[in-house]
Amino acid sequence: MLAETLKSIASLKLPNNFIYNLIVVDNDENFSSKDCFKNYKFSNLNTTYQIAHVRGIAYARNKVLQLANHFNTDLLCFIDDDEIVDKNWMESYLESYKNYKADVICGPALPIYPKNTPNWIKKGKFFETSNKMEGKYLNCSATNNVIFDFKKLFGEYGLRFNESLKSREDNDFFMRAHIKGAKIRHTNKAIVYESIPLSRMNLNWLLKRVYKSGEAYSKRELIRSGKIAGTTLIISKIIYRIIRGLITMPLAILKGYCYFVKSIQQFSIVTGMIGGLLGSNYDDYKMIHGS
């Protein structure tokens, strides 16, 4: 999948008057991605391949921050190694960055399904990001498709990815930026495409995924709102999710399997929220999917 990512980057339309650096951080001390990286030549990009010797997504992303600082970076983009960028991706981001005058701008990741994807997966849209209004203000972002003011977030704010978190440290990073005053906005124009492996298309993975989402939500809310106010809000969300799950369950069973899964997910989110309140730190990236 990294090969497809690099191939798409090599085909990018890059506006003039910028110096572009491509940083690939391999989170494997055996240099497993080095040969793949060396297969691609980027005439309009300076390229860097480095190892993050400590396993964990936060360590790899902090290595990117370290290298970006070394290159005196103004704007930093993040994408994942299982994604393909649209050829207009960079042009769209730079245009949005200029027009919105935001500190962080994020875009959608559209799914690429293999041919034998179960129908209930597509029908349930489990891997499709929710539609957001163009220019919408947000209070956090992910790193799967984002551009941000590096000098402000890294230099002025002193932000780093929290290496104690097993995952969702990207949401935590940008939420802390938001708390410090960073403006975060969404654009639908800067598109990446994400390959979805079949190993994720099952009830077990989908429940674990939303469990982590609930857990991460509780952790973020406790930081953002404080212990008392945050706990109160989280409990109200837990009650809402339980009621929603109980109400939708009977109808979901009649409507079909994908609706049943969505109903069950409400209870898994609740469990994750409770886990977050109690300090759990589940690692949903422990198993590697795809190839």
Beta bridge partner(s), residue 65: none
pLDDT in the model for residue 260: 92
For the segment 17-33, what is each residue's pLDDT rounded down to a tens digit? 899 999 999 988 888 88
Where do the domains of the chain lie? 5-196, 203-278
Please state which CATH number belongs to domain 5-196: 3.90.550.10
Q: What percentage of the chain carries pLDDT values higher than 90?
A: 73
What residues contact residue 13 under an 8 Å CB cut-off, 6+ apart? 87, 88, 90, 91
254 vs 201, 206, 249, 250, 251, CA distance in Å? 21, 20, 9, 7, 5
60 vs 48, 78, 290, CA distance in Å? 14, 12, 19
Q: Looking at this protein, which amino acid is placed at residue 20? A: Y
pTM of the model: 0.87
Mean pLDDT of 129-152: 92
d(CA 170, CA 61): 9
For the segment 198-219, what is each residue's pLDDT rounded down to a tens digit? 999 999 999 999 998 899 889 8
